[in-house]
Structures are given as structure tokens and as C-alpha cells.
Structure 1
Amino acid sequence: MAKTRQQLNLENLAYISAGSIVDVEILTPTASKRIKTEFVGLLHERFVILNYPSAKRLSNAGEYLKDGVVVIVRAVLETGGGQVIAFRQQVMSVSSHPARLIYLNFPTEVQLFSLRSQTRIPTLLAAKIKFNDEREMQGVIKDISVTGVMFDVKSKADLSELKNTQCHIMLDKNNKGVTEFSGQICSVKSHATSAQFGIQLTASEDEMKTFMKDHFIDLSVLEPLV
């Protein structure tokens, strides 16, 4: 019997690489909290295992990360041309020995969508990218959507090691409105004298639309969400 689309989507969980960074959205009665942590692995039809976030990543969300809490997990698949896999499930247990780990109930359904499912609008916004180790690089935001940006830097070095790292995009302080965004580098394309980072941002769609309006970017070209 042919497999259903949902069964095929569930099989894609196996393509989340151990050690890769995943986005975890903790759902609370008042607001959601978003944190980053590492994907550890899974036991099919039993549970999914995540690393317990470091204190720096956890910030003030620790009190919400406990048994029974519902979370949404999003991860970029190594295969599939930049597809994101997402699922919603309850925290089964948080272990403390031999390592602090988060066990999630195995999802019954997952969603797949492309990082490029949003219309990207060409821009030339000067900015700099900053990494957690305090390194900074000057560059240009070449295009923008409600979910991410393409950031171009001048460099002859191999920057592929920066894939899956956290970063901050900072615009000139003279810019109107929001001047800093956080995100994760999901792709790195190297050229002879430059490199391009495909960055998924953590800002909400409303925040991105406000930012675009502040910079006179025409929102009418945006397609409806898939």
C-alpha cells in the first residue's frame, strides 16, 4: 500500500541531523517563548530528544520548560533544498541524569515548508552581521521577506562552517524603527570574492512588515502565506 503524505512527512524527522540547532517555541497561556537548542535524536513512535538549553539560551524561559508543556519544534532539514520541518507536541519528561535532556512525545503529524515559500524583495540595505563569539562582518541585505533575509559579505574565505550558527543583523542606528534582528544562518553560498548567508529570522511577520513599511519596501508584492 502506498504511503500517505503524512507518513512520508513523519519519515523526514530522520533527516534532522544530530547536533543541529532547532527552534523551540514554548506555548504558555499568555505568550510564547522561543529558545534554541540542539537536536539529540529520536526513537521512532516513542519520543524525540532535545538537549536542555544552556542558561544563556534559556534566559527567563526555564520556568516554562517542564513536563506537560506544549512546544512547537522547527528544524532545517539537511536534505530537501532548505525545507523546514515543524511539529507540535507535549514535553514528556525533562531528565537530569546522566545528562539534562528534554523528551517529547513522538509527533503524530508534521508540516514541511520551504524557507523560500515567501516572496523575497530585492533590497540594498547596508548592515553588519554579528556572531555569538563577537565577530562582526560588514555587508548588505540583498533581499528580504517576512521570514528571512539574504545577507551578502565580501570575503574570499570559506565560511561554510557558519551554517546553523546564531547571529544578529544590525542596521545603522540612524535607520527608522527596529535596527537589530536575531536569526540563524540556514545556508551559505560561497563565490569568488563574496559569500551569501540565507538567514531565518526570529522576528514575527508583523514586525517584519512594519520594518518594510518603515524602509519604504512595497508590501503589495508579497504573496499570501502558503
Structure 2
Amino acid sequence: MAEKNAQLALSRDNIESLKALEVGEAIDLQITTPTSPRRVKTLYVGMDIPNCLIFQMPTTAKWISTRDLLTVGNDLVVRYVLEGDSGQVIAFRVKVLKLLSKPTGLLITSFPQSLQSIGLRSEKRAQPGIAVAVKSPQFGEGSKDATGIIVDVSFKGCRVAMPINPDWPMLSADEKITLIYFGEGNNIEISATIKNIKVEQEYNYYGLQFDENQKSVTQLLDRHVLLR
């Protein structure tokens, strides 16, 4: 019954990706701090679906400063490599539930609500699903109402899915457009160029190349993408 409840938040494939993480495997733990995140390597111990995950947290003097950051409720990002035909890096966000020192050093975290993954042997693009507004001269005054979803993204570009809509003409290759998303309390804009177009069922998919040196791209990745 507990596993069934977990699948309400995670897909069957995501649950299997977690189960494939073997006891004793190395994981990368990113700890949120008031200044900049701290990343350490430690070992996976086990899980209780859908209640918690357990990781090793040594009690040696070398780890004291790291342990001091693991306060209840603090955010963590966990990353690990799942070997397979393509090789996958898996990442997810959890919160600290409890830190134990006896009988051994253990970190207990919440159970993840979602996972992100990228293939090591293919183009490294995360798949976050970010809602955006799309501005183009072709949309005219209704441009502010045109919307889409970023279905994959990297530092250099992204792919946007837009529902086919008679008020939104199909855009052209090499056309300049602007993506707008809400973050940090205000609208953030990203300029891009359409490099390819694909139509599938009820959506137009646009492959975009970001203009260079845009702070807004870094903001987007920092806010939505765990795999970097």
C-alpha cells in the first residue's frame, strides 16, 4: 500500500530508477546554505517508500562542518549515476528530516516528489516542463497570450511545445522570438532563434538556440534544472 501511495507522486519508471540505486552506491549531495550550495560525496543506505531515504553521514571531525548544515527542513539535491544502455544521471530534491549520530551517522530525508534525468551518452538536456509566454512579431497584438512549455533545455538552447492554435501562426526557421517566464518576483525574458520545427499531433515543437551571454538563461537553469 505504501508503494502505491508513492506512485501517486512518482511514475512507475521513476520508482524503478530509485529502486535501482544499490546500497553502498556513491551519491552527490548538494546542501543549501545561506551563501552558496555545498556539494559532498556520500553513500546511499536505503529507503522506505514513500516515507524517506537514508544516506550515510560520517561523524568524523572532517564532516562536522557539513553535519552542521543539515538542519531539519533544509533543502538538498541528490544526484547519482544509473548505469544502463544509455547511462542516466538522476537528480531529485528532498528535505532533511533527521540526522543521527548513534549507533552510526545517518541522514534521513523526505521522499522525492519528482525526478529529473539526462542520458550520459546523448545530448545533455534536462526535461523540466517550464511554462512560458512566447513573443513573436507574427503573433501581433495577441503575442502576450501565446504560451508554450519548455520540454527540454540546456545552456545553449531548448525545445518548446506550443499547442496548435489558429491565432498563433506557425513560426519560421531563423526567426527571432522571446520567451517569458515568471521568476524571482518578476517576468524574465530570454531571446532565442528558431533552428528547427516539428509538428506532432496537436503541438508545434520549436528547437531554439539561445542568444549568447544572457543572465536570464542562468536564472532559468538555476531555478528549474537540477541536472547541471
The interval holding the TM-score normalised by the smaller chain is: 0.3 to 0.5
TM-score by length of 1: 0.47
Q: Which protein shows a greater Rg?
A: 2
